[in-house]
């Protein structure tokens, strides 16, 4: 168990810089999720921590030890790969015991640890099978078992759920979360799925173009996104953005000039900024009966999800979504009135996307 | 019958004709060689050739009576097994290194060496081996035949190693393996059939190679194929014994190829290791 410290890290491939200058502190026992779109550098960063990619410049510490030039074999970390990367010619038991055998652990100790991990992951019946005889979910568990038996300083997960079907993904996600609480080991998890990030992490690192956009708890990242990118990336369906302006002591949509009912701090911030981008999450719209209280929109599409209903509409030239109570079932073409919930709106600088506070 | 069906029928017929022609071209010399080895010696070169004859083993008896055939066979075996082992010993790590580093020029270099005519190597080798007094030794023959076996091993194994998902190697690295250990514990077991195929091909090519043994061997180390050449003399070629020798020489590679035919085809098309 150990902390991970990344200082002024730069990663280049030839003339192409993937990570320009990154600083990150992961505390001991912490579950940190790297999330971001494809090509944002999250997997590269994980592979750098694992020792599978060299660092162009900067420093990497695992615990108190600087590990820049230390080979993966000597970093004492365990990694679960996207395609599981099990050894196809070895039985499940041998897959799990291999790393311990390399470290000269006694046979009795190996046996005890493998069986303990197998019990934890419910894979005892498969110990004598080869990986090709297992389902995707079982292979995934074996890959985790291979990591667990080692008692490493840190676990690294590289999108381990992306090859599983939706139902299994939810199940394994919960299992990994439970494991992290039981093992109390530093865990770094890479995903492009923001639901995985939100449900599992103690803290989330939101990455874009090799730069950390925000590093905070899931609640903070969701409720107080640092910029428009984070606001748009975290949350499903994504946050709606509308260009707004402060005119004649009122907030109006830049296109169309409709009045937006903004109150309190938000109104104050827009007054100071003059122009901004207003962000409203789909779940933070309320449907009002009084047309004067809200913004009148035409319903373009209705998606009943059971637990709630998504209403698609166009506003100020932007295609937007509202998540409303499932009992509301407007029809396509109906005119409804939506009102942003007080205190749930976000304002971003129109020039650089940073949140206005 | 429609035009399309007619065309299909013609294509099937043409395919069949092509196969039969190819079969005749490939098999005719072999069949002729085997049949001739069982003909009385005076009938071997008779014209027109006799298709009906009383089979005899006289050529085989003559072969073993007049030549140290078993000694030559043993020499062939020593040189072939030795050069195949040498090819595997250096070819396996070389193919793995090329696959691991993705630096392909060493593999291309060995392929160029394999494609170059044997005479290119023969003269320098002859001079070098003579200077160190190794002409006629098994060592000289084994080393020279490694030029045949090494590129075969490398080029048969390269796609096999490339076919193993990179993440399997990376998992082994994270588990604590050195590169050498990854080769022996992870990669090699996964390409076992490729190794077998490369060994068989190397064996066959080395067994059949004629030129180096002709020049670099002596009476004690002459291989079968070089010895068979001695049957062709000026005006007094023993065609019957030559055919018997050729049949016996061709036997091990043919038997080997027949035994592992399916494996050979799958091994040559090997490229993916599925977990």
In whole angstroms, what is the distance from residue A335 CA to residue B107 CA?
Answer: 71
Answer yes or no: is pLDDT of A210 > 80: yes
In whole angstroms, what is the distance from residue B198 CA to residue B184 CA?
Answer: 17
In whole angstroms, what is the distance from residue A130 CA to residue A153 CA?
Answer: 28
| A vs B: CB pairs below 8 A | 70
Provide the pLDDT for residue A241. 96
Contact status of A106 with chain B (Cβ, < 8 Å):
no
Residues of chain B in contact with residue A135, where contact means CB-CB under 8 angstroms, are: none
Contact status of A179 with chain B (Cβ, < 8 Å):
no
In this prediction, residue A89 has a pLDDT band, given cuts at 50, 70 and 90, of very high
User: What token pair was written down for A335?
Assistant: 């005119």
Q: Which residue among B174, B178, B189 sits closest to A50, beta carbon to beta carbon? A: B174
Q: What dihedral angle (degrees, nearest 10) is formed by the CA atoms of A242, A246, A250, A252?
A: -30
Quote the minimal CA–CA distance from A253 to chain B in Å: 51
- Which residues have CB under 8 Å from A50's CB, separation 6+? A72, A75, A77, A79, A156, B170, B174
In whole angstroms, what is the distance from residue B254 CA to residue B203 CA?
Answer: 12
* pLDDT tens track, chain B, 275 positions: 577 888 899 999 999 999 999 999 989 998 989 999 999 878 887 888 777 888 899 999 988 888 888 899 999 999 999 999 999 999 999 999 999 998 888 888 888 887 888 888 888 999 999 999 999 999 999 999 999 999 999 999 999 999 999 999 999 999 999 999 999 999 999 999 899 889 999 999 999 998 898 888 888 899 988 888 776 665 567 788 888 999 999 999 888 888 777 766 665 554 333 33
pLDDT digits (tens, 9 = 90+) for A252-289: 888 877 888 887 788 888 898 889 999 999 999 998 87
Residues of chain A in contact with residue B163, where contact means CB-CB under 8 angstroms, are: none
Helix (H, G, I), strand (E, B) or coil at A341: coil
In whole angstroms, what is the distance from residue A210 CA to residue A36 CA?
Answer: 9
Provide the pLDDT for residue B5. 85
Beta-carbon separation of A71 and B170 below 8 A: no
Provide the pLDDT for residue B14. 94
Residues of chain A in contact with residue B170, where contact means CB-CB under 8 angstroms, are: 50, 52, 72, 79, 81, 85
Provide the pLDDT for residue B274. 37
Beta-carbon separation of B174 and A77 below 8 A: yes
Q: Say which residue, B147 or A164, is predicted with more confidence.
A: B147
Provide the pLDDT for residue A310. 95
Contact status of B179 with chain A (Cβ, < 8 Å):
no
Beta-carbon separation of A73 and B174 below 8 A: yes
In this prediction, residue A12 has a pLDDT band, given cuts at 50, 70 and 90, of very high
Quote the minimal CA–CA distance from B190 to chain A in Å: 6
Q: What pTM was estimated for this model as a whole? A: 0.81
Contact status of A105 with chain B (Cβ, < 8 Å):
no
Beta-carbon separation of A86 and B190 below 8 A: no
Beta-carbon separation of B173 and A73 below 8 A: yes
Answer yes or no: is pLDDT of A142 > 80: yes
Provide the pLDDT for residue B233. 60
Closest CA to B98 of B187, B9, B173, B32: B187
Provide the pLDDT for residue B271. 39
Q: Residue-wise over B73-112: b if at least 16 C-beta within 10 A, else e? A: bebbeebbebbbbbbbebbbbbbbbbbbeeeeeebeebbe
In whole angstroms, what is the distance from residue A33 CA to residue A215 CA?
Answer: 10
* Residue A336 CB-density burial (10 A; 0-12 exposed, 13-18 middle, 19+ buried): buried
Average pLDDT over residues A190-205: 93
Find which of A71, A73, A158 to mutate to test the B interface (most B CBs within 10 Å of its CB). Answer: A73
Average pLDDT over residues A77-84: 93
Q: Which residue among B170, B181, B274 sits closest to A88, beta carbon to beta carbon? A: B274
Residues 120-149 of A with CB under 8 A from B: 131-132, 139, 146
Find which of A62, A87, A104, A138 to mutate to test the B interface (most B CBs within 10 Å of its CB). Answer: A87
Provide the pLDDT for residue B52. 81
Q: Which residue of chain A is at minimal alpha-carbon distance from B190?
A: A89
Residues of chain B in contact with residue A86, where contact means CB-CB under 8 angstroms, are: 168, 171, 275
pLDDT digits (tens, 9 = 90+) for A166-185: 888 888 888 888 888 888 89
Q: Residue-wise over A288-327: b if at least 16 C-beta within 10 A, else e? A: beeeeebbebebeebeeeeebbbbbbebbeeebbbbbeee
Radius of gyration of chain A (CA): 24
Average pLDDT over residues A307-314: 94
Q: What is the ipTM of this complex?
A: 0.85
Q: Rounded mean pLDDT of chain A? A: 92
């Amino acid at each position: 168990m150990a902390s991970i410290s990344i200082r002024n890290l730069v990663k280049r491939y030839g003339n192409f810089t993937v990570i320009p200058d990154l600083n990150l502190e992961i505390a001991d026992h912490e579950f940190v999720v790297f999330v971001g779109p494809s090509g944002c550098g999250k997997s590269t960063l994980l592979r750098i921590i694992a020792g599978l990619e060299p660092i162009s410049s900067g420093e990497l510490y695992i615990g108190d030890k600087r590990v820049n030039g230390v080979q993966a074999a000597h970093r004492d970390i365990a990694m679960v790969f996207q395609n599981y990367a099990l050894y196809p010619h070895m039985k499940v038991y041998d897959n799990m015991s291999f790393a311990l055998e390399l470290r000269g652990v006694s046979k009795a100790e190996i046996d005890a640890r493998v069986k303990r991990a197998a019990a934890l992951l419910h894979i005892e019946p498969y110990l004598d099978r080869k990986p090709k005889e297992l389902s995707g979910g079982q292979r995934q568990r074996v890959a985790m078992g291979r990591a667990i038996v080692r008692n490493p300083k840190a676990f690294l997960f590289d999108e381990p759920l992306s090859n599983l079907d939706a139902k299994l993904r939810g199940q394994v996600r919960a299992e990994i979360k439970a494991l992290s609480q039981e093992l109390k080991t530093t865990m770094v998890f890479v995903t492009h799925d923001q639901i995985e990030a939100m449900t599992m992490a103690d803290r989330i690192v939101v990455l874009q173009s090799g730069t950390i956009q925000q590093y905070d708890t899931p609640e903070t990242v969701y409720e107080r996104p640092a910029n428009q990118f984070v606001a748009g990336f975290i949350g499903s369906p994504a946050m709606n953005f509308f260009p707004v302006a402060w005119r004649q002591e009122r907030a109006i949509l830049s296109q169309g000039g409709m009045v937006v009912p903004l109150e309190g701090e938000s109104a104050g911030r827009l007054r100071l900024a003059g122009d901004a981008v207003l962000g409203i999450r789909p779940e933070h719209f309320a449907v009002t009966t009084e047309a004067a209280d809200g913004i009148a929109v035409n319903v373009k599409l209705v998606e009943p999800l059971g637990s709630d209903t998504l209403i698609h509409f166009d506003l100020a030239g932007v295609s937007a979504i509202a998540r409303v109570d499932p009992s509301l079932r407007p029809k396509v073409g109906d005119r409804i009135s939506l009102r942003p919930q007080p205190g749930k709106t976000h304002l971003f600088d129109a020039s650089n996307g940073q949140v206005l506070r | 019958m429609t035009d399309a069906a007619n065309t299909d029928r013609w294509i099937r017929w043409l395919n069949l004709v092509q196969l039969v022609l190819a079969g005749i071209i490939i098999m005719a010399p072999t069949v002729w060689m085997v049949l001739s080895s069982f003909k009385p010696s005076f009938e071997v070169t008779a014209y027109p050739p006799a298709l009906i004859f009383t089979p005899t083993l006289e050529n085989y008896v003559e072969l073993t009576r007049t030549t140290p055939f078993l000694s030559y066979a043993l020499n062939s075996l020593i040189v072939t097994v030795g050069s195949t082992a040498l090819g595997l010993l250096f070819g396996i790590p070389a193919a793995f290194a090329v696959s691991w580093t993705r630096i392909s020029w060493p593999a291309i270099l060995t392929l160029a060496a394999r494609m170059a005519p044997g005479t290119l190597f023969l003269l320098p080798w002859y001079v070098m081996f003579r200077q160190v007094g190794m002409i006629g030794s098994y060592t000289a023959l084994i080393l020279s035949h490694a030029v045949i076996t090494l590129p075969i091993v490398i080029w048969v194994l390269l796609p096999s190693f490339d076919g193993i998902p990179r993440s399997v190697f990376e998992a082994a690295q994270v588990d604590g393996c050195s590169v050498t250990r990854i080769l022996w514990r992870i990669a090699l077991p996964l390409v076992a059939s490729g190794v077998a195929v490369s060994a068989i091909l190397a064996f066959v090519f080395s067994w059949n190679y004629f030129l180096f043994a002709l020049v670099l061997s002596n009476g004690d180390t002459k291989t079968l194929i070089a010895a068979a050449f001695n049957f062709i003399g000026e005006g007094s070629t023993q065609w019957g014994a030559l055919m018997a020798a050729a049949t016996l020489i061709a036997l091990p590679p043919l038997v080997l190829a027949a035994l592992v035919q399916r494996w050979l085809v799958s091994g040559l098309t090997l490229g993916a290791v599925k977990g």
